[in-house]
């Protein structure tokens, strides 16, 4: 067997959809992964954008350790939704405490987005670990933003060339979104609609990013806008900008650009925030517990 064959025999890689996503077997992420295997994983990641690692038994330390191989981890700006002893891990759950209040964020990700696109240096990738999986619903979808860009008609490609857009964390600043009608302040607790504190506001000033970015590793162009955080187009009237953004979202969210993930307990899913957007599909009853923990890798200024 040649050296090349040996180099590629470690992992089993099976595509999960036409658009993006692959399942990776043959690696135990609770063990320190060798440099060679890590490079195989990274190559598969650049090719498939979303990697699913089924059946991983991970402690918080192991989740953090593997995630940190991709770069420094971000402590999520929503300080109170991170694990007290592991601030690199964001807790997404609909669990309640004795008093009936939600213990953390219960509806994170329920509008299409790229994690932390509202930061000057948005996240390059996220690693989400499935802990409690509801029997019904709770899927997550990812969309391929290279495909979104490539699908744009020539005229639209030309129109967005060099254009930039504003990204904002607080969805109360997003004219496209609003809380469900009749939601009370109490119900907003543990929800994405909860009022942001002055500290969070201070850590998340509005930022401007190119509408089309070049992935620094693959050199491919990807659309970089999303419904949740992208609010306005720079140097354009609000109406005109909104109509352009709505057009772009249509290309981004086309069914043929999407992988829908049905979670199994102990799946670890790694995705690339530079060339994908994702959506928590919801649709599970509040009595069924869904708990996920996410590590978020810091990225670079998009260009
Ligand atoms: C996230 C996210 C989606 C989900 O963790 O970044 O958006 O389905 N999660 O929980
Ligand atoms: Mn997310």
Those residues with Cβ within 8 angstroms of residue 265's Cβ, 6 or more apart along the chain or in another chain: 130, 131, 132, 133
Q: What domains are defined for the chain?
A: 5-297 (3.60.130.10)
280: Cβ below 6 Å to ligand 1?
yes
Distance between CA 204 and CA 119 in Å, rounded?
Answer: 6
Distance between CA 165 and CA 163 in Å, rounded?
Answer: 7
Q: Whose CA is nearest to atom 10 of ligand 1?
A: 280
Q: How many CB atoms lie within 10 A of CB 159?
A: 15
231: Cβ below 6 Å to ligand 1?
no
Give residue 1's pLDDT. 47
Query: Is the distance from CB of 132 to CB of 93 less than 8 angstroms?
Result: yes
Q: Is the pLDDT of residue 5 over 50?
A: no
296: Cβ below 6 Å to ligand 1?
no
pTM for the whole structure? 0.94
3-state SS, 243-254, equals: HHHHHHHHHHCC
Q: How many CB atoms lie within 10 A of CB 234?
A: 13
pLDDT tens digits, one per residue of 157-212: 999 999 999 999 998 899 999 888 899 988 888 888 888 888 999 999 999 999 99
Dihedral sign for Cα 105, 107, 113, 118, please: negative
62: Cβ below 6 Å to ligand 1?
no
Average per-residue pLDDT for the chain: 94
Using alpha carbons, list the distances in angstroms from residue 70 to 35, 58, 64, 255, 265: 12, 17, 10, 29, 23
Q: Whose CA is nearest to atom 7 of ligand 1?
A: 109
23: tokens are: 């399942």
Measuring CA to CA, which residue among 75, 100, 68 is closest to residue 89?
Answer: 75
Ligand that comes closest to the CA of residue 291:
1
């Amino acid at each position: 067997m040649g050296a090349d064959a040996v180099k590629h025999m470690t992992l089993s890689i099976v595509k999960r959809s036409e658009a993006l996503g692959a399942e990776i077997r043959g690696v135990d992420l609770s063990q320190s992964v060798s440099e060679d295997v890590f490079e195989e994983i990274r190559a598969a990641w650049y090719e498939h954008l979303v990697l699913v690692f089924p059946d991983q038994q991970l402690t918080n330390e192991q989740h953090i350790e593997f995630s940190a191989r991709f770069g420094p981890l971000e402590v999520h700006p929503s300080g109170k939704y991170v694990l007290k002893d592991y601030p690199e891990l964001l807790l997404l759950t609909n669990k309640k405490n004795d008093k009936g209040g939600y213990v953390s964020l219960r509806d994170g990700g329920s509008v299409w987005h790229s994690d932390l696109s509202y930061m000057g240096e948005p996240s390059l990738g996220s690693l989400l670990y499935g802990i409690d999986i509801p029997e019904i619903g709770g899927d997550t979808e990812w969309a391929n933003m290279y495909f979104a860009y490539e699908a744009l008609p020539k005229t639209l490609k030309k129109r967005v060339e060099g254009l930039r857009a504003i990204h904002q964390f607080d969805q109360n600043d997003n004219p496209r979104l609003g809380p469900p009608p009749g939601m009370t302040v109490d119900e907003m607790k543990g929800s994405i609609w909860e009022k942001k504190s002055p500290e969070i506001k201070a850590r998340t000033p509005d930022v401007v990013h190119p509408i089309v970015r070049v992935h620094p590793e693959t050199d491919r162009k990807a659309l970089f806008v999303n419904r949740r955080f992208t609010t306005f187009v720079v140097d354009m009237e609000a109406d005109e900008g909104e109509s352009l953004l709505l057009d772009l979202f249509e290309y981004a969210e086309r069914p043929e650009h999407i992988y829908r993930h049905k979670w199994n307990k102990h799946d670890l899913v790694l995705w690339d925030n530079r060339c994908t957007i994702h959506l928590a599909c919801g649709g599970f009853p509040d009595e069924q517990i869904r708990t996920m923990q996410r590590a978020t890798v810091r990225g670079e200024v998009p260009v």
